[in-house]
Structure 1
Amino acid sequence: MQTRINNVAVNPEAYQTMLKLEGFIKASGLDPILYELIKIRASQINGCAFCLDMHTKDIRKMGESEQRVNLISVWREAPFFTDKEKAALELTEAVTRIADHGVPQALFDKVSEQFSQSEIVTLIMAINTINSWNRLAITAGMFPGCM
């Protein structure tokens, strides 16, 4: 397999802009495991093999169990996720698929029970960031092991 384009090489400014978003989220205090769960769930929905491969490896290195990693796509049926994680995963799904149904008020209320308003903005930024990475990787034809 071969990638279509090397985003980093042909437009390093765009890549640096994405890294600034990552830096903001990492400095925000968002739990790193929660951020990886968000990245994995969005990458599953978007079908980004490159990002899914990267972030499942990253979360395992952070000590996450195989069971939880394997069940992220079916988090509603798995008893291994906290209420806070479930709210973030549901928000991830809604924002990633925003054209389908928007973000219903009931979901926003559920998220508001688990996160402050500032944290909600950070969650939205985290979800937007991984969705942007997914779109860059998929469009460029990136695949696991290509870098």
Structure 2
Amino acid sequence: MTQRLNYQQQSPELFKKLVELGMLLKKSSIEESIHDLVDIRASQLNGCAFCVDMHVKEATMHGERALRLHHVAIWRESDLFSPRERAALAWTEALTRISPLGVSDEIYERVRSQYSEKELSDLTFHIMSINAWNRVNVAFRIPPGIYDKAFGVDKSGLA
């Protein structure tokens, strides 16, 4: 994969704001393990090789089990995820691939049964953020692993 352009250099102020949003989201009401699952699932759906690579490495560093990481793509068929994690994954899919009919009441109610209003709002902002990262990295073909050292994921042991 050949990188098309360096958006960090071309739009440094916008890049910085997206990074700042990410830092704020790390302090949100949503637990780290759910952030990891959401990042991986949205990145899979969007075909973002850079983000799948990075977030699998991050999740590994956060202690996530390898089998669960392999099961993210098949979460509906897997019994390795809690109801709260399943709700987050369903919400991620609904917001990443928004239907022409919008988000169904059924999905909203399922997610709402697992999350407070504050948590649901924070989760939604997190999904918005990972989708923004996916879109810029896919658009400009950012190669997987290129920033491992800069983001500290070179310590994952998954090089």
- Shorter-chain TM-score bucket reads over 0.9
Does the CA contact (< 8 Å) of 1:94 and 1:101 recur in 2?
A: no
Counterpart in the other structure of 1:14: 14
Distance in 2 (CA, whole Å) between partners of 1:100 and 1:61 is 37
Does 2:38 correspond to 1:38? yes
Does the CA contact (< 8 Å) of 2:3 and 2:142 recur in 1?
A: yes
Distance in 2 (CA, whole Å) between partners of 1:32 and 1:7 is 27
Which structure features the higher share of helix residues?
1
How many Å apart are 1:103 and its aligned residue? 1.0
Distance in 2 (CA, whole Å) between partners of 1:90 and 1:138 is 22
SS of corresponding position for 1:64: coil
Does 2:102 correspond to 1:110? no
2:84 maps to amino acid: K
Counterpart in the other structure of 1:87: 87
Distance in 2 (CA, whole Å) between partners of 1:55 and 1:100 is 29
How many Å apart are 1:87 and its aligned residue? 0.2
Counterpart in the other structure of 2:5: 5
Gaps of at least 5 residues in structure 1 are: none
Distance in 2 (CA, whole Å) between partners of 1:140 and 1:99 is 26
2:134 maps to amino acid: N
Distance in 2 (CA, whole Å) between partners of 1:102 and 1:17 is 28
Counterpart in the other structure of 2:136: 136
Deviations, residues 37-89 of structure 1 (Å, cap 9, x unaligned): 00000000000000000000110111111100000010011100000000000
How many Å apart are 1:101 and its aligned residue? 4.3
Counterpart in the other structure of 1:68: 68
Does the CA contact (< 8 Å) of 2:29 and 2:122 recur in 1?
A: no
Gaps of at least 5 residues in structure 2 are: 148-159
The share of aligned pairs that are identical, in percent, is 38
2:111 maps to amino acid: V
